[in-house]
Chain A
Amino acid sequence: MPVHFGYTISKPRAIDIDHNNLRKSDEILREMPELQTCIGCGACTAVCTAGNLTQFNFRKVHTLVRRGEYQGAYEEMNKCMLCGKCRLVCPRGINTRGVVMLIKRKLGDF
């Protein structure tokens, strides 16, 4: 019987682009190329009602999706109430609500 000393092996935290499958991310960007123009200013997150009350961070979630980190993205996007304030402030004119819907549609099974 193996003895447990209470140690576990942690999964590496690095975003491993070699390992991540960017196919879904490419599909998303093909449908909404304007998402690539994001300068990460965070105005969307600053006005976000959900983000002021929960851990939800739209900028972070879509950036992770673009890096091929799909785990949990669908659940995160479910926190969005689709109020559209983020779309009003986005200096790049990105259809942010459309991004939420698109990610939910593409990543429902992750």
Chain B
Amino acid sequence: MKRVIIIGGGVAGMQTALRLAEEGVEPLIVEKEAELGGKLRGWHRLFPSFTPASEVLGELRSRVARRGIEVMTSTEVKAVEAGAVTLVDGRRIEGDAVTICSGFDLFDARIKEEYGYGIYDNVFTSVDIERMLNEGRVARADGSRPRRIAFLHCVGSRDEKVCQRHCSRVCCVTGVKQAMEMKELFPEADVFNFYMDIRMFGPGYEEMYREAQQRYNIHFVRGRISEAAPTIDGRVQIKAEDTLTGRPLRMSVDMLVLLVGMRAGETNPAYEAAGLGRLESGFMAPRDSFLGNVRSRTEGIFYAGTVTAPKNIGETINEGCAAADAVLEYLKKS
């Protein structure tokens, strides 16, 4: 039986493994964390349908378990080559092909010091909001209910100053989703989204945006917040230009939420060292954008999911299937 090593046990890795197992190939998932699931473990509900993330995660995990797919958790890969990976502890695992599904890293909001994340109270990231929603309690630092919340789009995306030129794509819709969730939790609160462009690229996203405007009365202000500062009463003062009126704007809010972007995974340079190409954004470069979008430039090494670019969960699942099909085609020939 042919064996395929899958680096990363998130959505892409699990889906790739499932599809390969269905076709009679033996996948091995190598996961650096203690359990499968990747970033999905930290999310609460998924846009645009507000499906609980645990539903998708639980289903994928149980399918992996039912298939009896071999999983090595708490295992980190150091180097990759066609048909083998070397682990951090020096062990070498051989297979017939390798699929890299190691995903993305989150942008560290502390790098954008002007927003005060980790310095002032009441500045949060979108990931903090997901965590608080999962914990069942969203509140300000002093435990009180927020009456005014601002979301800032494009933190660590489209930003030359932090070497992240690319668009992370999913933050726009995440901002709309979380704004709606905040409005559900705190109907008396005013919610403002500060955006540059609203990129509603997926099915149902634009409808969601419209609902946020029309039914949830969420305010959209076109302008990038330039700085945030704490006020004497523990709130956050923000400054922006309201570009649609052409005037500077300032306001104080009870919570400032930074919609952090996706950056290239920290293990990508190691793949580059193995001769695989990287894009300017740091994500891995597929062989081409169309017929070779799940293939690397090296025969026998494949990609699925956000290792090549920011993607949503549906796209990632599709890519898992596409990558598995490419692997099967390769295994037939070799």
Contacts and interface: CB of A to CB of B under 8 A. Distances in A.
Chains A and B come from one and the same complex: yes
Interface of B: 114, 154, 158-161, 196-197, 222-227, 239-243, 246-249
A46 B197 contact: no
A46 B114 CA distance: 13
A47 B159 contact: no
B248 A45 contact: yes
B196 A46 contact: no
A44 B239 CA distance: 11
B133 to A, nearest CB: 28
Interface of A: 39-48, 51-52, 57, 59-60, 89-93
Contact of B241 (A46, A91, A92, A93): A46
A58 to B, nearest CB: 10
Contacts of B222: 42
B114 A89 contact: yes
A11 B241 CA distance: 29
Contacts of B240: 42-43, 46
Nearest to B197: A39
27 contacts: A39-B158, A39-B196, A39-B197, A40-B196, A41-B154, A42-B222, A42-B242, A42-B243, A43-B224, A43-B225, A43-B226, A44-B241, A45-B241, A45-B246, A46-B241, A47-B226, A47-B227, A60-B246, A89-B114, A89-B161, A89-B226, A89-B227, A91-B158, A91-B160, A91-B224, A92-B160, A93-B161
B246 A52 contact: no
Contact of B243 (A40, A51, A90): A40
The 7 closest A-B pairs by CB, nearest first: A42-B241, A93-B160, A41-B224, A46-B226, A45-B241, A42-B243, A42-B223
